[in-house]
């Protein structure tokens, strides 16, 4: 199956589907650093650049699948919510133009949940309506990365369309077990959704399976001097943030701790019990709270945390890669003759997709293709 990606970023589909029966024949990315990452890992895949120029692209083979995660900022509840009236939001319409021109058998589109309510739901309705007018049956679903083996809560809308049969699109995003009523209940103290991550951590293929583990409670600031308990770490962000930072201490033997560069929840060979002490600090509050889960990476790290009596550290790029499900060092490339700067790696990873989620979708498409062969 020949695949073309648009708004390709650092290649989450390419990485997720690398050992599946897909042949990537082109990508579309204009940002310099993500383009360098794509060229480093996939030198034989042509980067066609600006997707607005798709009418000039020529392919010798038909395209089976067209995958794009167009910019989310116009639809995000954290942004200005200009929707498709903004230049970036309009790229969703450009994607539909690509669908019309290349007529792939499969279309896959990803965005933030805010797209469901953008412009009172009319933006998303227009997108789906246009797919229908182009002859595509479709299904859509909100998938959360925490159910797929990565330690972050990251909800994204995925639309899967098929050129004719609606049952094909539905078979990719939905399984019979997902309709059995096994949904997440209200959280209670002493339970959490995702366990500490390991390299071989099992995860739910249906996206709804609840995994129980020991209590991990986070004291999160809501206003000056006021904290609430939470059971999940903050999600990976691509926009500027002034959120809290963390202090990590590693247990060397029972009761003794030393400074650490890697939080235990992100270690490749994490044990069955927590061995780290994590202290949460905010620039607006000198008090420090002990927590059990470190908030995750932001694209450009905030400036808070100056009042801590202990050393404050940023999350490492390798941890950001693990949070998104990429292999270690995936963004650690030579960029403009030098090692890639952390700032570029953080930003690119924050703008990318959770690899295990994309892989699950790819495996489902491959299974449907095989069943209909």
Residues marked active site are found at: 72
d(CA 365, CA 242): 39
Q: Which alpha helices (DSSP H) does 69-162 contain, by range?
A: 91-102, 122-133
SS3 assignment, position 335:
strand
The answer to whether 153 and 144 are in contact (CB under 8 A) is yes
Which has the closest alpha carbon to 162: 96, 103, 94? 103
Distance of CA 83 to the CA centre of its chain: 20
Which has the closest alpha carbon to 146: 224, 92, 211? 211
Site of tokens 């995750």: 296
Q: In what order do the strands lie in the sheet with 65-68?
A: 23-26, 2-6, 65-68, 106-111, 155-162, 137-144
CB atoms within 10 A of CB 147: 23
Tell how many helices (H) and how many strands (E) occur in the chain: 8, 14
């Amino acid at each position: 199956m020949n695949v073309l990606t648009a708004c390709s970023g650092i290649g989450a589909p390419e990485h997720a589907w690398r050992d599946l029966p897909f042949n990537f024949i082109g990508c579309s990315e204009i940002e310099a650093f993500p383009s360098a990452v794509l060229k480093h890992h996939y030198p034989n895949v042509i980067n066609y650049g600006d997707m607005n120029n798709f009418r000039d692209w020529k392919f010798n083979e038909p395209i089976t699948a067209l995958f794009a995660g167009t910019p989310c900022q116009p639809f995000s509840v954290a942004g200005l919510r200009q929707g498709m009236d903004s230049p970036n939001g309009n790229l969703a319409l450009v994607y539909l133009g690509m669908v019309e021109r290349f007529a792939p058998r499969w279309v896959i589109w990803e965005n933030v949940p805010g797209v469901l309510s953008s412009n009172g739901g009319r933006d998303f309705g227009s997108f789906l309506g246009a797919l229908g007018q182009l002859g595509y049956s479709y299904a859509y679903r909100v998938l959360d990365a925490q159910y797929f083996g990565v330690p972050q809560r990251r909800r994204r809308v995925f639309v899967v369309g098929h050129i004719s049969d609606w049952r094909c699109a539905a078979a990719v995003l939905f399984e019979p077990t997902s309709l059995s009523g096994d949904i997440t209940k209200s959280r209670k103290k002493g339970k959490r959704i995702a366990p500490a991550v390991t390299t071989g951590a099992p995860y739910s293929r249906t996206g709804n399976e609840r995994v129980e583990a020991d209590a991990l409670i986070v004291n999160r600031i809501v206003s000056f001097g006021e904290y609430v308990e939470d059971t999940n770490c903050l999600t990976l962000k691509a926009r500027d943030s002034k959120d809290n930072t963390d202090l990590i201490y590693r247990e060397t033997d029972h009761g003794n701790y030393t400074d650490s560069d890697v939080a235990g929840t992100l270690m490749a060979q994490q044990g069955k019990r927590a061995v780290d002490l994590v202290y949460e600090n905010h620039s607006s509050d000198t008090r420090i709270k002990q927590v059990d889960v470190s908030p995750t990476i932001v694209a450009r790290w905030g400036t808070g945390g100056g009042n801590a009596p202990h050393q404050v550290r940023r999350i490492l790029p390798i941890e950001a890669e693990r949070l998104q499900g990429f292999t270690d060092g995936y963004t650690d490339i030579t960029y403009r003759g030098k090692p890639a700067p952390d700032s570029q790696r953080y930003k690119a990873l924050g703008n990318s997709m959770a690899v295990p989620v994309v892989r699950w979708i790819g495996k489902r498409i491959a299974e449907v293709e095989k069943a209909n062969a």
